[in-house]
Amino acid sequence: MAKKELPEKQQVPKGKEKPNQNDNGGLSGDFSSKISGLSSKVFGVIKFILAIIILPLVYSSIVSFINEFTQIDTGLQQIFYNGIISFLAIYLFIWEPAVIYNKGHKLLEIMFSFFKPLVNVAPFLLPIYTILIFIIYGLLALGVKSDWLIEYTLFLIGFSSILHLTFSAKAIHSKKGDFLKANYIFGFSFIFILNLMLLALGFSFIFEKFSLVNFCNVSFTIFQNVFLSVFKQLFVF
């Protein structure tokens, strides 16, 4: 008797293989990825809530800073604002000086290379050029007694401050996976407040009429009043 040939096993087309139910690695990988995505969204919601809470502090810091800044000479105030306006004009109509910001970014990375977490955070938080300008002014003021020194210093401080805020905001905004834009709102709000505090600190050393203590007290008082007012409107009937 001739042996019957067994039918050949049909090959399953590629892409249509049945998933292996015993493949625990694949299932656990999918599960862990879902958990990771869920946790990132939850964390994003928490940061978004914190960002909303911190926004009144941004407002109160601006009001307090302007209140103290108006105590100095009007002409010097205008020079500071001229520095801000000059940067915006260059940035919007002529050239984006990103190379200047990037060099300052790399300088801070070198300065904080001894501590890895600071390398990732410090370049966004600290306006390196503004800090250097304050330091250089302090050194020059020991021997130079002239109006041009404070005038050039204020112009450069205004220019460098808005440069740092602009490109820091742009860098944070460009990051992907920012759920509800929580990183952008919270991160930039924190950077903005910190930069105003550094400006207030520097100006308190330069101008007798600019008080860092008053800046902090008024900022906190306005923030407290706004926060309590909103809280009563939302939760007190």
Contacting residues for 98 by C-beta, under 8 A, at least 6 apart: 167
Contact 177, 40 (CB under 8 A): yes
Contact 214, 60 (CB under 8 A): no
pLDDT at 168: 92
Nearest to 66 by CA among 227, 214, 237: 214
pLDDT at 35: 61
pLDDT at 21: 47
pLDDT at 141: 93
Below-70 pLDDT ranges, the chain: 1-41, 43-44, 176-181, 236-237
Integer Cα distance of 102 and 222 in angstroms: 35
pLDDT at 179: 58
The percent helix, strand, coil of the chain (3-state, each to 5) is: 75, 0, 25
Nearest to 199 by CA among 146, 147, 159: 159
Question: Which DSSP category does 73 fall into?
Answer: -
Integer Cα distance of 42 and 210 in angstroms: 42
pLDDT at 38: 60
Question: Which DSSP category does 122 fall into?
Answer: H
Q: CA of 34: how far to CAs of 27, 38, 47, 126, in Å?
A: 11, 6, 20, 36
Q: How far apart are the first and last CA of the chain?
A: 97
Contact 59, 192 (CB under 8 A): no
pLDDT at 68: 96
Q: CA of 18: how far to CAs of 9, 13, 23, 178, in Å?
A: 15, 11, 11, 36
Question: In this structure, what token pair is assigned to residue 118?
Answer: 């600071």
pLDDT at 236: 66
